[in-house]
Amino acid sequence: MRERDVGDWRLTPARHYLDGRIKSLILDLSAPHGGERLLDIGCGTGDNLRLFRQKGCVTTGLDSSSDNIDACEKKLGNRAELHLGNPGDLPFSDNEFDIVTMVASLEYMQNPAAALAEAIRVCRGRIFIGLMNCYSPIGIQGRLPALFSVQTDAKARYFHLPSLSGMIRQHLPGVRIAWGSVIFLPWGFYDAASKIEEQIPVMKNPFGAFIGVSFSVTFSYITIQDVVKKPTATPRSGEPAHGVVREAGK
């Protein structure tokens, strides 16, 4: 996903407030702990990587845009392991991460179902997915890309909760899904009416501009991925490349 320079929309107090509401929901539903390994799929320019790094996580980001990876490197330096790659074919072993996140990125992926399957495969703890809600007041205004500072050449494929829940339960039948949303009012209200926002229930409320979904993934089998094949690339941190399984003999 390629991200153009749209300026820092968080410069105004109202927009800083909206950004804080989004990050609070992300943290509430993903519940990160210091030392946990986190993968952000579709990491963009690294804002969410920085958020989880501040919570003490060991962070890894993957994006299909080299421009975004370059921006992440400038923002985070060596504080995150970064990969240029395809969300539908992750260069990681099964059960490698405690937390896997996709925030305002699943909508732009060429194959969302494959990306979700790969997120589940590499996770041993929990997954958080953040969605832009086109049925919210801000979505109806057409302001969602501005809210998330994301513009791409790809057209967004918006999801609703039943369709996403169905995709998740195809892989994890019966899994408990926790969800909520924030940012319920039209765009212009937040200059003066932010206190109204805080009176609206968050959990299991489908009307916010940003919907967060989380669910657990039970540690599963280890897939043997061409262990005799010589790896063609090595990540910057020295972690196993695609096709090399960590602890395959255990």
Q: Closest by alpha carbon to 150, among 2, 14, 16? A: 2
In a domain, 236, yes or no: no
Average pLDDT value for residue range 128-141: 94
Domain housing 181: 9-216
Q: Closest by alpha carbon to 240, among 83, 48, 102? A: 83
In a domain, 111, yes or no: yes
In a domain, 65, yes or no: yes
In a domain, 226, yes or no: no
Task: Tell me the C-alpha to C-alpha distance, in Å, between residue 167 and each of 9, 65, 71, 128.
Answer: 33, 25, 32, 14
Task: Tell me the C-alpha to C-alpha distance, in Å, between residue 34 and each of 4, 77, 94.
Answer: 32, 20, 21
| DSSP string for 145-158 | HHHTT---SSPP--
In the structure encoding, which two tokens stand for residue 173, read together? 């039948």
In a domain, 17, yes or no: yes
**Residue 241: pLDDT above 80?**
no
pLDDT class for 195, splitting at 50, 70, 90? confident
pLDDT digits (tens, 9 = 90+) for 88-119: 999 999 999 999 999 999 999 999 999 999 99
The enclosing domain of 196 has a CATH number of 3.40.50.150
In a domain, 206, yes or no: yes
Q: Closest by alpha carbon to 130, among 48, 57, 8, 35? A: 48
Cβ atoms of 81 and 51 within 8 Å: the answer is no
**Residue 123: pLDDT above 80?**
yes
- H or E segment to which residue 71 belongs: helix 66-76
Number of compact structural domains in the chain: 1
